[in-house]
Amino acid sequence: MTSRKKYRAASFFHTRLLSIVSITLALFILGGIALVQIAGWQIERKVKEQISFTLLLPITNTEKQNAEICKNLEAKPFVKAVRYISADEAAKELEAELGENPSNVLGYNPLQPMVEVNLKSEYTHTDSLGLVEEEMSNMNTDVGLTYREDLLDQVQRNMNTWRIVLWVLGVLMLIVCFIQINNTTRLVIYGKRMQIRTMSLVGATPGFIQRPIIGQSVLDGLIGALLSVVVWGIVIIVVKSYLFLDILSYLPWLHLLLGGVVILVLGTIISALTSWRATRKYIRMDSGKIYLI
């Protein structure tokens, strides 16, 4: 009798272990899709924020007036960064590109001081750029917008397509994740079907029967979700440390934290829902059928 109990305990342990591993694998893949989505958002933002305006300032302006213009620009809601380039600095940059200083050729510096303005990503849509350029033109400066509209449109189309693909994959993976966790949870509860039936026959309420089983399934789901988050953390550290890829620059800590919380919540909710459905099935099943399955 003792050996039989040990066998049942070992069998139940292996079934639970399989359940946790299955949950971990399913949520790990789902987490991977989420990480790619987060990285895609960051790449899109970085690309868009390369778009810049160049404002040519009047040569007659004093340094104080130029500093005031820069201060006003920094206060604009659409401005990401402002870089002031004096006439001398512009000449040095041109010398670095051409190999010769224009002042040495012409005898004077023909370049004007300028301000390079990078926009926030949410203001880089083609319908917003015209409004931004118009507002900047009202600052009594010559405005030049340095970007390729066709390239920006192409980037936007590619990112929209990529986003749709990721959302479709995410939804499909969520369905697969639910099915996988549902099957493994049902397998665990299948081993308890006789115990469930016995408790039902002696008058135990459905809530009393379901409570410990759902609690155990929630714990398994939480462990599986936590393991998937830990494994992804290890993967990110290995990629950064040994492959020398600055992956964290595309994965903000806040987004990683929110993603981890979502994975934990998903693992818990799906496990609770599937265990409730499976337990309810065996509670309602006829005595004759329960011995046949």
Query: Tens digits of per-residue pLDDT, 265-279?
Result: 988 888 888 888 888
Q: What is the pLDDT of residue 230?
A: 92
Q: Would you state the pLDDT for residue 133?
A: 72
Q: Are 248 and 240 in contact (CB under 8 A)?
A: yes
Per-residue pLDDT reduced to its tens digit, 152-199: 677 778 878 888 888 888 888 888 878 877 887 777 777 777 777 777
pLDDT band of 256, cuts 50, 70, 90: confident
Residues 105-152 have pLDDT tens digits of: 677 777 788 888 888 888 877 777 777 777 777 765 665 555 656 666
Q: Of 8-17, 25-34, 53-62, where does mean pLDDT reach its minimum? A: 8-17
Pick the CATH number of 52-146 from 2.102.10.10, 3.40.190.10, 3.30.70.3040, 3.30.70.1350: 3.30.70.3040
More confident residue, 35 or 290: 35
What is the C-alpha to C-alpha distance for residues 134 and 93, in angstroms, rounded to an integer?
Answer: 28
Listing DSSP states for 121-190 in one string gives GGG-SHHHHHHHHHHHHTTSSEEEEE--HHHHHHHHHHHHHHHHHHHHHHHHHHHHHHHHHHHHHHHHHH
| 239 pLDDT more than 60 | yes
Q: 43-87: per-residue pLDDT in tens? A: 888 877 777 777 888 878 888 888 888 888 888 888 888 888 888
Choose among 36, 25, 2, 22: nearest CA to 170. 36
pLDDT at position 1: 46
- Locate the domains of the chain by residue range: 2-46+154-290, 52-146
